[in-house]
Amino acid sequence: MSLAGGFKKNVLPFVLLILAIIVFAVVVNVIFEGKFLTATNINALCISAIIASFSAWGYCFIFALNYMDLSVGAAITLIIYASGELGNLIGPAGVVIGGIAAGVILMTINFNIFAWSKIPSWVAGLGMCLVYEAAAAKYADIMQQNGKYVVLLKEEYSIFGHAPGAYIVFAVGLTAAYILYNRSSLGINVRSIGNNPAIAKAMGIRIPSTLIITGLVCGIFIGCAGFMKESYMLRVYAMTGLSSLSIIFPPLATVLLAQVFERWMNLIISIPFCALLIYIIYNVLSIIGVPSGTLQEAVLGLCVLVFGVIAQKGTREVVK
């Protein structure tokens, strides 16, 4: 796979975007006296963008099916717990195995519900979000009652949240996502089902089995996002009352922005660039003193709306 192969005929708009990001970064760095373009800050931005990219790649398959899963943020919390627990038991291999295994299990559950029930995917996802949040909160309560930390990953096992481990995982993930989404029968079948399930079925595509396999693939990508997040942050607290939805805002904004540039560059390859832009926005807001939490999430929420409107420009029917 070559990066050049991901570009389409007119690359000028995407090149202009990259140049705009560079110019913006230089200007911000000058204004804030060199606080932005430091090696530590750039590395942190890149790691955050990589983590968001894995979740966004999972959402590429979900969106291609015309589905919407709101439980991914809550699932990532449980994935982090599984990754941290197994990681502390057997080391870095446990971090990876625990994260991916939990991701596959949780997303397979979701896609079985999508495949066999008549419930709209966003409703099912919202229900599972509450279930996963409750499970994470119950686990946290049990740990606290026993006087234990809620999964504090040992720092020596956090190699996948820092260079070079994070970048190696990213290279493998980018290659896998590109091949699966663009060059495999699964990617073709997923887009066919999303475009018209009736025609896809008439073509001989087995929709239920395709959905289950898609859930497995999404689980791997989201599992990777979970174990990398655990490796980067070392611990994450349980979130309830649908507050875990905030976890999926960056990857959602990333996918929507990538869809804007899809006519000029392959969706999978553009996602890391778009994720980096999203986190640059976050970082700049922090530097200028915008409080983290509500105000920053409000800005990102506006970004999601704007990117979504632009990405769906020209679509005549209602977008599910």
Asked whether residue 275 carries a pLDDT value surpassing 80, the answer given is yes
Q: What is the pLDDT of residues 50-74, one digit of tens each?
A: 999 999 999 999 999 989 999 999 9
Over residues 62-88, the mean pLDDT reads 92
Give the 3-state secondary structure of the chain: CCHHHHECCCCHHHHHHHHHHHHHHHHHHHHCCCCCCCHHHHHHHHHHHHHHHHHHHHHHHHHHCCCCCCCHHHHHHHHHHHHHHHHHHHCHHHHHHHHHHHHHHHHHHHHHHHHHCCCCHHHHHHHHHHHHHHHHHHHHHHHHHCCCCCCCCCHHHCHHHCCCHHHHHHHHHHHHHHHHHHHCHHHHHHHHHHHCHHHHHHCCCCHHHHHHHHHHHHHHHHHHHHHHHHHHHCCCCCCCCCHHHHHHHHHHHHHHHHHHCCCCECHHHHHHHHHHHHHHHHHHHHHCCCCCCHHHHHHHHHHHHHHHHHHCCCCCCCCC
Confidence band for 292, pLDDT divided at 50, 70 and 90: low
Span of 142-156, 166-180, 262-276 with lowest mean pLDDT: 142-156
Asked whether residue 18 carries a pLDDT value surpassing 80, the answer given is no
Q: What is the pLDDT of residues 184-228, one digit of tens each?
A: 999 999 999 988 888 888 888 888 889 999 999 999 999 999 999
Confidence band for 1, pLDDT divided at 50, 70 and 90: very low
List the domains of the chain with CATH numbers. Answer: 3-311 (1.10.3470)
Which pLDDT score is estimated for 115? 86
Which pLDDT score is estimated for 8? 57
Which pLDDT score is estimated for 291? 65
User: What is the average pLDDT value for the chain, to the nearest integer?
Assistant: 85
